[in-house]
Chains A and B, each alone.
Chain A
Amino acid sequence: MNVGIVVFPGSNCDADAYHAVRDVLGRHAQYVWHEERSLKGLDAVVLPGGFSYGDYLRAGAIATTAPAVRALRPYVERGGLVLGICNGFQTLLEAGLLPGAMLPNLSGEFRCEFVDIRTERADTPFTCALEPGDVLRIPIAHAEGRYVTGDARPAIAAHRQVVFRYCDPAGAVTPESNPNGAEDGIAGVASVSGAVLGLMPHPERACEALLGSADGLRIFESLDRWIATGRTLGAQAAEVH
């Protein structure tokens, strides 16, 4: 697979994502400058973590004006896959490619720690190498991760769009295991078709045992497996969220 990693002013996990795909997984990765208008030839696009445009206005808000982000909607309609990590997730929300919005953590703190997340769906391009219920140990690093569904709550439930929830090591979703106050412990959400996934934890920072966990690699392995086997999703063209 060929993965494009968008680089914004203020991205700081672009090199981690590149390393995970290229050096750990052994697949092709390339950087995509935010001013790029074409995403042609890319099997998947990663919006990496960081503080694009200094988090000015709202986290991810200014990034939605970048040509590379404006190219995402037609890219997804033509069959492309998009993974937004942390600031990338915030950007996808602001761009309307995923439902809901992000608020400052309930604790008022920047949280930087390992968390456990439970896999809710294994039928997406990003989780097809997992089983429902699988618990991944992956770090978070954010100040604004309190996900809220707003008026999208019924649609998110109807389309089973929640892909990951914060949980305890045994997989139970509890208030204590929720690091930011996210609604229903939601850590990751997909678009209706499943072609777009956003999550707050950083899988690219947990792809080697040396870094404390290799669980994050399973998300990139899923993507690789999905693309290698030529699986496709229905109705990406009609994607609302």
Chain B
Amino acid sequence: MAAARTVRVIVTLKPGVLDAPGQAIQKGLDALGHGGVQTVRTGRYFEIELDDDDRLEGRVREMCDGFLANTLIEQYRYEIV
């Protein structure tokens, strides 16, 4: 079995794309009395373990561009641990 690497991917809406769930969560925080919350932006977090090889980063980008993120409206960042 090939050695495994852990990749952490975070997908968020692009800046400027209105985040309706984020706004609802912000209102919820307000309602609970958490003052001073200026914005809430939501997103998704993925922890992926995959075989290590010299194409690892390229493979991660392919996964993100083609599936994990919809790059029309979303952006992603990742770290390879």
Q: B-contacting residues of A (Cβ < 8 Å)?
A: 57-58, 61, 65, 94, 100-101, 103-108, 146, 148, 150-152, 181
Contact = CB atoms under 8 A, between A and B. Distances in A.
Nearest to B24: A108
Contacts, number: 37
A176 B17 CA distance: 21
Q: How large is the interface on B (under 10, 10 to 19, 20 to 34, 35 or more residues)?
A: 10 to 19
Contacts of B23: 108
15 contacts: A57-B67, A58-B70, A65-B67, A101-B70, A103-B13, A103-B18, A103-B20, A104-B20, A105-B20, A106-B18, A106-B20, A108-B21, A108-B24, A148-B72, A150-B73
A143 B68 CA distance: 20
B70 A94 contact: yes
A107 B67 CA distance: 27
**Shortest beta-carbon contacts, A-B, top 9:** A150-B72, A108-B24, A101-B72, A104-B20, A101-B73, A108-B20, A101-B70, A104-B21, A106-B20
Contacts of B18: 103, 106, 181
Contacts of B73: 101, 103, 148, 150
Interface of B: 13, 17-18, 20-21, 23-24, 44, 67-68, 70, 72-73
Contacts of A57: 44, 67-68
A151 B70 CA distance: 13
Contacts of B67: 57, 61, 65
Contacts of A146: 20
B17 A103 contact: yes
B72 A151 contact: yes
Contacts of B70: 58, 61, 94, 101
A58 B68 CA distance: 9
B81 to A, nearest CB: 22
A61 B70 CA distance: 9
